[in-house]
Structure 1
């Protein structure tokens, strides 16, 4: 029996989740006090999307990008462990999340910073590195290691560190994002947790976070969106980060999500979901995204402090790379990227450039607050 599309016809996520529980859950387990539903991999909610009715699950990529790491010290020194849910073979984990929020936040990654006005509820601010707009350039993936910090984020604020890939040529815009977010609103606490986000036809129509609507296909049976990290960075002390990769499968055209070094394959977005990313990507981003609370206050971003040149006190993304048209990972050139930062003064950004130990690095973040105009 096909799950009903409550999210599309105005119903609540609780109804949608209850339907999922009835038809797909094999076992429910507890992981460090959190409830996780182990769902039959072939009956997971993603497959109820109208565009995926005949989709056959791909359990692993047909190939990976050729990774060109700049040095041996680039890899595991700052890596962390992720919370794992021991779901049975043939199932995938779906973390239960709070139900007192909407399925979509449609303006999350579509801020027009050139025309921004006073901060309103849901207002988005970015402090990010972005590739320059080249209509004829083709990207096959994006990757980077954002730092992990616990942040004092209020209930309806959201603070994100991550990487994203999009096609901006025509409306509707297509985008895929992964990284970690701090959001009591979406995740239930102030710990950074893995997330994914997508939109296939612009401004939230046909897209959402994690499993909030059908679309994202989970394949790993232990690690999933919602998984927390241990340990996180200490301001002025030891830093930790996680590597995220989004890349296109050379044969199927699906967009894969991997984390860690060596990489762990988590899941993918089928190419059928997209109007333009099913052909190519022409814009990438790395850095921080923040969403205001109901009273217009912005959350902290990065480490919660503006960058001052010290990696131990700043939010950062190290190992900034992209996957070129030949599926080879490359570090960007300074003349091929540009900063994308609002002018409110709440957040700072430093395009640090190439570091012999950490590859290409950016620093970003700030305390948030009432940012006013920007």
Structure 2
């Protein structure tokens, strides 16, 4: 009888986790039943019913001229998981994050970004993020990031809610120098929340995309430029915050996770970030983007283009009113 019980428990575990796979970039992933993914362990999602797909997509209202530079949509890492399961990358450690009160107030974080000044109610954001394999200080626990932030709340009232999407190069965590797709969220000013699928919260619906997986190809200096097209928007009917990369829908942050972001975001920021562990003496060699200044132009510096927001009618509109917020006026681009 004891033997049968052990076998039953083992088989139940196998059914829950699925079988291990190797992703396109060589990571080991587990194929997890989408109804049993870690997201549903969050105390606010006890009664949440999985939304299989967004009720509608934002309406495109703008068109953009093709630039003279060769650009292409980058490919995301995938795994061949059975139907009804999602790929979850095996991480060797938990990746945590602390955030300074502002881009200039705390040593260790440096930024070059632009922020929306209006409108005051934002229901999503979209942009094309240029992807580079930024160099990171050898032997350091530093990283380089290009991303979008959707934020509401204030540090002084300790109620910051944020959704963040982009790419990061973080050798100490990922054990390589590849740019990798990441997501992050918090509903309590960075006291909790997490990257990718490391904690309950984000619900993945894609059965193939690996969050935390490598992005390929990367941009080449003076040559072809690689981009990811990031779109996050609030479902007009369900209220959940959906994420797509290019034409691929990845999943969503349930509305129940947030208080301040429960209705809308008040700010969208686009830009780069590095961590600098050398807070005295010489500056870190970790690059933001390519590590070069913006006046050198496309093909030599990293960029984010075609920045848009989603309005209350679920229309995508270009952003006209932006405020530049670098840590340093001469910050790298």
Q: Do the two structures share a fold, i.e. TM-score over 0.5? A: yes
Instruction: Return the alpha-carbon distance in structure 2 between the equivalents of residues 115 and 83 of structure 1.
Output: 36
Aligned-pair CA distance for 1:22: 7.2
Q: In the TM superposition, what is the alpha-carbon distance from 1:104 to its structure 2 partner?
A: 2.1
Distance in 2 of aligned mates of 1:190 and 1:256: 28
Structure 1 residue 111, shift from structure 2 partner: 4.1
Could you tell me which residue of structure 2 aligns to residue 54 of structure 1?
A: 47
Could you report, residue by residue, the CA deviation over 1:267-293 in whole angstroms, capped at 9, with x for unpaired residues? 110011111100211100111111123
**1:317-356 mapped onto 2 (5 Å cutoff):** 317-333=304-320, 336-343=321-328, 345=330, 347-348=331-332
The residue number in structure 1 matching 2:146 is 161
- Helix, strand or coil: the match of 1:73? coil
The answer to whether 1:106 aligns with 2:93 is no
Contact residue 166 and residue 181 of structure 2 kept, 8 A: yes
- Tell me the equivalent position of 1:215: 201
In 2, the alpha carbon distance for the partners of 1:196 and 1:97 equals 15
Q: CA 1:146/1:217 → structure 2, altered by over 3 Å: closer, same or farther?
A: same
Q: 2: distance between equivalents of 1:133 and 1:331?
A: 11
Contact 2:131 2:179 in 1 (8 A): yes
Structure 2 counterpart of 1:27: 19
Partners of 1:226 and 1:139 in 2: CA distance:
27
Residue 72 of structure 1 deviates from its aligned partner by 6.3
Q: Does 1:71 align with 2:64?
A: yes
Q: Which runs of 5+ in 1 are unaligned?
A: 1-20, 349-364, 366-374
Shift of 1:129: 0.9
Structure 2 unaligned spans of 5+: 1-12
State how far apart, in whole Å, the 2-side matches of 1:233 and 1:308 are.
18
* Residue 192 in structure 1 maps to residue 179 in structure 2: yes
Contact 2:71/2:225 (CA < 8 Å) preserved in 1? Answer: no
SS in 2 for 1:162: strand
Q: Which residue in 2 is equivalent to 1:264?
A: 248
Q: Is the 8 A contact 2:77 2:210 kept in 1?
A: no
- Cα distance in 2 for partners of 1:187, 1:214 equals 21
Check whether the contact 2:114–2:322 (CA below 8 A) recurs between aligned residues.
yes
| Residue number in structure 1 paired with 2:132 | 149
The answer to whether residue 259 in structure 2 is matched with residue 288 in structure 1 is: no
Q: Secondary structure at the match of 2:263?
A: coil
Matches within 5 A, 1:170-189: 170-189=157-176
| 1:128-147 map, 5 Å | 128-132=113-117, 137-147=120-130
295, 300, 309: which is aligned to 2:287? 300
Aligned residues: 311
Answering whether residue 127 of structure 2 is matched by residue 127 of structure 1, we say no
Q: 1:248 aligns with which of 230, 234, 238?
A: 234
Structure 2: distance between partners of 1:164 and 1:115: 18
Secondary structure of the residue aligned to 1:185 is helix
Change (3 A) 1:273 1:23: farther
TM-score, normalised to structure 1's length?
0.78
- In 2, the alpha carbon distance for the partners of 1:190 and 1:38 equals 25
Give 1:36 shift.
Answer: 0.7
Q: Report if aligned partners of 2:167, 2:182 keep a CA contact under 8 Å in 1.
A: yes
* C-alpha distance in 2 between matches for 1:298 and 1:225: 27
TM-score normalised to structure 2 length: 0.87
